[in-house]
Amino acid sequence: MAKLQHSIGELIKLSAGYLTEKGCSSPRLDAELLLGHVLGLDRLSLYLNLDKPLNKKEVDEYRALIGQRGQRVPVPHLTGEREFYSLALSVSPQVLIPRPETELLVDKVLELIEPAEPVWILDLGTGSGAIALALACQDPNIFVTAADLSAAALRVAEKNAEQLEMNAQIDFIESDLFENIQGKYNVICSNPPYIPRAQLAQAMPEVRKEPALALDGGEDGLVFYRRILNQAASFLEHSGFVVLEIGCDQARHVREIGEQRGLSWQETVRDYAGKDRVVVFRWA
């Protein structure tokens, strides 16, 4: 008699094999995350229920997601969620998917500010609001202006702020960098677009499905660093900081740009792989 049902373990194994054939870099993890999304289970619960059979509706929904993942649609676009700094954030194709290395930028900003003292931070290119929300959630005295050129991205960020009940600490502004910004801040931070335009065509298929507005750093990848650092001093309080995520080969160039604008380079932070990832400047 033909088998009518598949178990959790069988589906994960079959799906991981399919995703391997399609070139996905973490096929088993992807298979587990997507099945967990369909069933409302975390990965541990999946492993505790490997022999559990699934009904037709669950299998059909899962197969549809696996098919899209095989077309290299990013997992967070399929689940609508990404964890960042222990926060569950909604994401969409209109925003950059938050990366673990960006948490280093949040860590550095928190190191620079005085705890329990009111602090005003400007987050340029906020996207999903990941940086702004991660900072605001750490201290009720942290107030963030989160700016983005994309109205669609701001809607995602505002939704995340509502879900996390952070509206009182964050102001969202539609702005092309400093265009609609007023006042001065203790810290200006950003994870700007920094991929050189010619390299985007060679990027992983998943990356190319993210918004070009959040990735395209111009011909040399440094356009937004020039724009930010050229104006940053006008929006900083005395002894304020600029904290920027960078591409792994851009530290020297970004440092030169900042110093040419009168900012004092403080530090270049390396990521978990030992690559340059965050540059810190001070406006004395």
pLDDT digits (tens, 9 = 90+) for 197-234: 999 888 899 998 999 989 999 999 999 999 999 999 99
| pLDDT greater than 80 at residue 1 | no
Quick one: which of 187, 186, 125 has its CA closest to 157? 125
Domain ranges of the chain: 8-71, 85-283
- 140-165: burial string, b at 16+ Cβ within 10 Å, e else: eebbbbbbbbbeebbebbeebbeebe
Domain 85-283 has CATH 3.30.300.30: no
Q: What is the pLDDT of residues 106-119, one digit of tens each?
A: 999 999 998 878 99
CATH class of 8-71: mainly alpha
Q: Using an 8 Å Cβ cutoff, are 110 and 95 in contact? A: no
Q: Per mean pLDDT, which range of 77-81, 212-216, 259-263 is the poorest?
A: 212-216
Region 20-38: mean pLDDT is 95
Please give the model's pTM, rounded to 2 decimal places: 0.91
| pLDDT band per the 50, 70, 90 thresholds, residue 5 | confident
Query: Which pLDDT belongs to residue 284?
Result: 82
Tokens of 127: 């996207």
Q: Check residue 245 and give its pLDDT.
A: 98
pLDDT band per the 50, 70, 90 thresholds, residue 4:
low
